[in-house]
């Protein structure tokens, strides 16, 4: 049974409740008890994200509410991830894909979740509007037969808000920030309805800040009006946590099949709005380990400054890998260079240092990619080639030394490291700070290993330092990390 089949049951439930209210029993769900709350009786929640750091960031919003949350590293999740999970997060790794590839990956993920009995899906999108947002929303709506989608990309805690349909970063339109110069996925359109109209085949609507500021009831009326007028994707302004809470409440009261779309900001409000109830989760003793391994594959200046700050404020040794050397290799799996880096890292860890594996200081994506454009190599493949190499280096390091945990910066890097370690997923346990989730690897070479992930351009200068300190004081990963046996 999935969402389209449940709606008739829900409407019958509302009619029965109304009849009982007439007879003196206050049992009607009435307004405020929408389809989403009714659905929690039938199923768990599925989340579809277009990259791993976003998947973790959004899943962490549910994990910190006590919900057992696991992240699949592949479009089709390993069935072991479903055994004790309230929330299943699927990473489609489609942010840098072509629209047709992105549609197919997201459709595959949605069909998998639907077949597995997950009736309610949240579509996570980048708060900086990178990726194939409209195409991927279409894919989920097609599979789940949704009448309407609500796109709420604001993430106020991260300085990203939506005003008059424009996505702002620290009060500036995205097209006027560093996001416009992103070498892999530049954002040149800040007006969300315009961006979606170019990417989706559905009818786009917009609800402005004035309506949002009037609260839940006004939002519900605006939703009903737009749905009645044929709007299929509705962009909603938001600038504060209260805005997101009101929007979430209004969405949860709807009587039709809908799709909620947003960043970790809206996701943080959903557990309460949907009245999700967690499973009980035991803990296990932490293994005897030492040191923290930071892996920074991001070319972002923010990420590089965070590593440099940590190297000056903590006992952090840096293993620098030259981008040009990686790109010059005939074989990405050059064991000699990887083993050399691993021996250097292990020696530092044995001395009691933490280590950071990062790209050569001062290298930029433009510098790394420009020489290869003559050969026709695409930027996205170069990025993933670098990430794969970093992942293999980390696997070599962990064969020599078992650390307390990993800090992984950049979505491609995080996915490559997890894949190199043979993990099938991540069991999320919460956040260190907003936007920096923590969890434990499921299965593979290091089951139970604590992992912190963050987007490359996210955070303050001390974010990586705080993650390292957290891992040194961390204990008791979840038993979900042992689902693989």
**Tens-place pLDDT, residues 7-36:** 444 444 444 444 443 334 333 333 344 444
Please state the rounded mean pLDDT for residues 245-252.
94
Please state the rounded mean pLDDT for residues 447-465.
89
CA distances from 38 to 252, 273, 436 (A): 9, 12, 31
The enclosing H or E element of 265 equals: helix 264-267
φ, ψ of residue 434 in degrees (nearest 5): -55, 130
Q: Where in the chain is the domain with CATH 3.40.50.10840?
A: 34-273
The predicted structure's pLDDT at residue 378: 67
Reply yes or no on whether the pLDDT at 142 is more than 80. Answer: yes
Cα end-to-end distance, the chain, whole Å: 30
User: pLDDT grade, residue 416 (50/70/90)?
Assistant: very high
Q: Which residues of 355-387 are buried (b: 16+ CB within 10 A; e: fewer)?
A: bbbbbeeebebeebbeebeeeeeebbebbbbbb
Please state the rounded mean pLDDT for residues 253-262.
91
Q: To the nearest whole percent, how much of the chain has pLDDT over 70? A: 79
Report the range out of 226-235, 304-313, 318-327, 334-343 with the highest average pLDDT: 226-235
- From 72-86, 99-113, 189-203, 245-259, the region with the lowest mean pLDDT: 72-86
Strands (E), 36-81: 45-49, 69-72
204 against 65, higher pLDDT: 204
Is-contact 391 423, C-beta < 8 A?
A: no
Reply yes or no on whether the pLDDT at 193 is more than 90. Answer: yes
Is-contact 332 292, C-beta < 8 A?
A: no
**Tens-place pLDDT, residues 344-369:** 999 999 988 999 999 874 444 455 44
Given phi > 0 = left and psi -120 to 50 = alpha, else beta, which region is 278?
beta
174 against 283, higher pLDDT: 174
Reply yes or no on whether the pLDDT at 182 is more than 80. Answer: no
CA distance 413 to 300: 13
Domain 34-273 sits in CATH 3.40.50.720:
no
- For residue 259, the cross-strand partners are 149
Please state the rounded mean pLDDT for residues 432-445.
89
- From 6-10, 315-319, 353-357, 402-406, the region with the lowest mean pLDDT: 6-10
DSSP-derived pairing of the beta strands 450-454 and 405-409: parallel
408 against 81, higher pLDDT: 408
- For residue 293, the cross-strand partners are 355, 406
The predicted structure's pLDDT at residue 478: 38
Is-contact 89 72, C-beta < 8 A?
A: yes
Q: Where in the chain is the domain with CATH 3.40.980.20?
A: 292-482
- From 217-221, 372-376, 481-485, the region with the lowest mean pLDDT: 481-485
Q: What's the whole-number average pLDDT of the chain?
A: 82
404 against 363, higher pLDDT: 404
CA distance 322 to 386: 10
The enclosing H or E element of 389 equals: helix 379-400
**Domain 292-482: which CATH class?**
alpha beta
8 against 155, higher pLDDT: 155
Is-contact 399 446, C-beta < 8 A?
A: no
Please state the rounded mean pLDDT for residues 131-142.
97
**Tens-place pLDDT, residues 289-304:** 789 999 998 878 888 8
Q: To the nearest whole percent, how much of the chain has pLDDT over 90? A: 51
Reply yes or no on whether the pLDDT at 454 is more than 50. Answer: yes
User: pLDDT grade, residue 77 (50/70/90)?
Assistant: low
Is-contact 286 402, C-beta < 8 A?
A: no
CA distance 112 to 142: 13
CA distance 319 to 291: 14
**Tens-place pLDDT, residues 457-469:** 788 899 999 999 9
**Tens-place pLDDT, residues 89-134:** 999 999 999 999 999 999 999 998 888 878 789 999 999 999 999 9
Is-contact 355 345, C-beta < 8 A?
A: yes
DSSP 8-state class, residue 364: -
Task: Dig out the tokens for 166 from the structure.
Answer: 């424009």
Strands (E), 405-467: 405-409, 425-433, 436-442, 450-454
Reply yes or no on whether the pLDDT at 440 is more than 50. Answer: yes
Q: What is the DSSP string of 289-328?
A: ---EEEEE----HHHHHHHHHHHHHSSEEEEEE-HHHHHH
12 exposure class (CB count in 10 Å sphere: 0-12, 13-18, 19+): exposed
CA distance 325 to 417: 19
- For residue 453, the cross-strand partners are 408
The predicted structure's pLDDT at residue 111: 93
User: pLDDT grade, residue 147 (50/70/90)?
Assistant: very high
Global pTM reads 0.74
- Give the residue from 277, 256, 258, 268 showing the smallest Cα distance to 121: 258
Task: Dig out the tokens for 11 from the structure.
Answer: 């409407």
**Tens-place pLDDT, residues 264-279:** 999 999 887 877 666 5
Q: Which residues of 432-456 are buried (b: 16+ CB within 10 A; e: fewer)?
A: bebbbbbbbbbbbebbbbbbbbbbb
DSSP-derived pairing of the beta strands 160-163 and 87-91: unpaired
CA distance 70 to 439: 9
Q: In what order do the strands lie in the sheet with 172-173?
A: 160-163, 166-169, 172-173
Reply yes or no on whether the pLDDT at 410 is more than 90. Answer: no
CA distance 214 to 205: 18
433 against 289, higher pLDDT: 433
CA distance 455 to 184: 14
């Amino acid at each position: 049974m999935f969402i389209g089949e449940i709606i008739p049951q829900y409407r019958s439930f509302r009619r029965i409740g109304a009849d009982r209210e007439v007879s003196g029993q206050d049992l009607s769900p009435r307004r405020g008890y929408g389809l989403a709350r009714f659905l929690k009786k039938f199923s768990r929640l599925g989340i579809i994200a277009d990259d791993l750091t976003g998947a973790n960031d959004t899943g962490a919003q549910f994990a910190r509410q006590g919900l057992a949350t696991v992240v699949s590293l592949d479009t089709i999740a390993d069935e072991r991830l479903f055994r004790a999970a309230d929330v299943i997060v699927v990473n489609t790794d489609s942010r840098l894909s072509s629209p047709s590839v992105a549609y197919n990956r997201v459709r595959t993920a949605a069909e998998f979740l639907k077949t597995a009995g997950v009736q309610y899906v949240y579509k996570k999108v980048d708060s900086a509007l990178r990726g194939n947002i409209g195409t991927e929303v279409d894919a989920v709506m097609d599979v789940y037969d949704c009448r309407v989608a609500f796109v709420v990309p604001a993430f106020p805690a991260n300085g990203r808000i939506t005003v008059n349909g424009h996505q702002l970063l620290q009060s500036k339109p995205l097209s006027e920030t560093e996001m416009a110069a992103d070498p892999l996925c530049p954002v040149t359109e800040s007006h969300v309805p315009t961006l979606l109209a170019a990417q989706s085949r559905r009818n786009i609507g917009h609800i402005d800040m004035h309506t949002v500021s009037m609260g839940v009831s006004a939002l519900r009326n605006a939703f009903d009006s737009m749905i009645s007028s044929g709007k299929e994707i509705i962009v909603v302004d938001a600038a504060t946590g209260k805005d997101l809470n009101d929007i979430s409440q209004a969405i949860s009261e709807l009587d039709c099949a809908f799709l909620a779309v947003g960043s970790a900001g809206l996701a943080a409000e959903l557990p309460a709005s949907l009245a999700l109830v967690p499973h009980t989760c035991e803990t296990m003793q932490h293994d005897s380990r030492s040191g923290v391994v930071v892996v920074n594959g991001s070319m972002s200046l923010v990420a590089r400054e965070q590593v440099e700050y940590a190297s000056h404020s903590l006992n952090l040794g840096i293993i620098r890998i030259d981008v040009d050397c990686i790109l010059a290799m005939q074989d990405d799996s050059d064991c000699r260079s990887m083993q050399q880096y691993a021996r250097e890292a292990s020696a530092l860890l044995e001395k009691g240092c933490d280590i950071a594996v990062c790209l050569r200081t001062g290298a930029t994506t433009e510098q790394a990619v420009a020489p290869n454009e003559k050969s026709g190599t695409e930027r996205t493949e170069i990025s993933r080639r670098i990430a794969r190499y970093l992942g293999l280096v980390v696997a070599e390091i962990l064969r020599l030394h078992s650390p307390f945990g990993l800090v992984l910066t950049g979505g491609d890097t995080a996915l490559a490291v997890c894949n190199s370690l043979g993990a099938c997923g991540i069991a999320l346990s919460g956040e260190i700070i907003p936007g920096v989730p923590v969890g434990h690897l499921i299965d593979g070479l290091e089951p139970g290993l604590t992992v912190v992930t963050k987007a490359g351009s996210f955070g303050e200068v001390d974010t990586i330092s705080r993650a390292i300190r957290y891992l040194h004081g961390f204990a008791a990963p979840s038993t979900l990390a042992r689902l693989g046996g």
